[in-house]
């Protein structure tokens, strides 16, 4: 069947070293979404099944672009899938109050995409499962990363696994949360409008904009794309209050970065 304008492609990236709780939770969420909208096509990526070498820390991708990365493996394949999807779900368990190494390394290898974000205009969902502690830190981290990649995190899902096994009441609550989140996400997916950037999106944008001062390569790209003097990648949907706060924050970040920049010269 050919893809029509109403069909949506969602990439689900799972950063666990096993097909465990996070996968099951994503399955539950995507099943619910399919019940609401049968025209969503899901592609599951289990990072553990892909060849993703460790980041070597050479900084080449940060200063000169991803073409200069010396490691050739499956990261570019996943990146292409991210770009061609309408939206994506970034899902991870919490290991010691953070994402597991497999997810962290993938994020490190995707660093180039923070300096020339390619996922602009896409809604994203973050999914976190933990035994019982650290969900907030992991969920916040995934949100920051998806935002740095250019996306707008429109929904967040969290499940505390130990509660799930012990408490039926908690499970009933989660079922409702999944249903509500699936309904809201479906609205995001079918909307003809670009996601409305929130204050956090604007703050991250302002920081990334100033960071380009450390790389002529990226600075030129930001100038070319018209981002170097703007409040966000696009102008639609920024409310006046957020725009004013973003300008003030942008001014503060610029001042601080100028000091760092002078010191580093
Ligand atoms: C190495 C390791 C570290 C973990 N650290 C935490 C932790 O700090 N806090 C917590 O609540 N749960 C922790 N857990 C439990 C997992 O977050 C939880 O079981 C999660 O749902 C596992 O998801 P997965 O099956 O998709 O890997 C840890 C599990 C492992 C294997």
Cα 152 to chain center, whole Å? 7
Domain finish residue from 139, 163, 190: 190
250: containing domain: 199-264
Do residues 223 and 256 both lie within one domain?
yes
Asked if residue 49 is part of any domain, the answer here is yes
Tens digits of residue pLDDT in 237-246 = 999 999 999 8
pLDDT the model gives residue 3: 53
Do residues 148 and 212 both lie within one domain?
no
Q: Is 165 near ligand 1, meaning CB less than 6 Å away?
A: no
Lowest mean pLDDT among 47-61, 152-166, 176-190, 247-261: 247-261
Q: How many domains does the chain divide into?
A: 2
Domain finish residue from 172, 190, 208: 190
Q: Which atom of ligand 1 is nearest to the CA of 133?
A: 11
Asked if residue 133 is part of any domain, the answer here is yes
Query: Ligand 1 centre from 167 Cα, in Å?
Result: 18
The whole-model pTM stands at: 0.95
Do residues 180 and 129 both lie within one domain?
yes
Q: Which atom of ligand 1 is nearest to the CA of 92?
A: 26
Place of tokens 């799972």: 14
Per-residue pLDDT band for 103 (boundaries 50, 70, 90) equals: very high
Query: Ligand 1 centre from 1 Cα, in Å?
Result: 40
- For range 81-103, the mean pLDDT: 98
Do residues 173 and 205 both lie within one domain?
no
Q: Smallest Cα–Cα separation from 41: which of 92, 3, 77? A: 3
Asked if residue 3 is part of any domain, the answer here is no
Alpha carbons within 13 A on the beta-carbon side of 32: 19
> What φ, ψ does residue 117 adopt, rounded to 5°?
-60, 135
Asked if residue 1 is part of any domain, the answer here is no
């Amino acid at each position: 069947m050919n893809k029509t304008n109403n069909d949506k492609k969602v990439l689900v990236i799972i950063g666990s070293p096993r097909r465990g709780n996070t996968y099951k939770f994503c399955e539950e969420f995507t099943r619910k979404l399919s019940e609401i909208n049968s025209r969503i096509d899901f592609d599951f990526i289990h990072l553990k099944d892909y060849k993703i070498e460790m980041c070597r820390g050479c900084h080449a991708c940060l200063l000169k672009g991803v073409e200069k990365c010396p490691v050739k493996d499956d990261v570019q394949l996943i990146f292409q899938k991210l770009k061609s999807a309408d939206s994506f779900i970034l899902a991870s368990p919490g290991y010691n109050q953070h994402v597991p190494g497999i997810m962290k390394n993938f994020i490190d290898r995707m660093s180039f995409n923070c300096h020339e974000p390619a996922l602009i205009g896409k809604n994203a969902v973050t999914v976190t499962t933990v035994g019982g502690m650290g969900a907030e830190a992991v969920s916040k981290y995934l949100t920051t990363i998806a935002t740095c990649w250019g996306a707008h995190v429109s929904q967040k899902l969290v499940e505390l696994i130990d509660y799930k096994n012990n408490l039926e009441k908690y499970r009933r609550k989660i079922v409702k949360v999944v249903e509500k989140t699936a309904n809201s996400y479906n609205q995001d997916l079918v909307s003809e409008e670009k996601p409305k950037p929130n204050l956090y999106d604007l703050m991250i944008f302002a920081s990334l904009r100033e960071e380009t001062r450390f790389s002529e390569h990226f600075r030129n790209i930001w100038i070319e794309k018209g981002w170097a003097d703007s409040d966000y990648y696009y102008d639609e949907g920024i409310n006046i209050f957020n725009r004013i706060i973003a300008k003030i924050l942008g001014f503060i970040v610029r001042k601080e970065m100028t000091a760092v920049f002078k010191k580093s010269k």
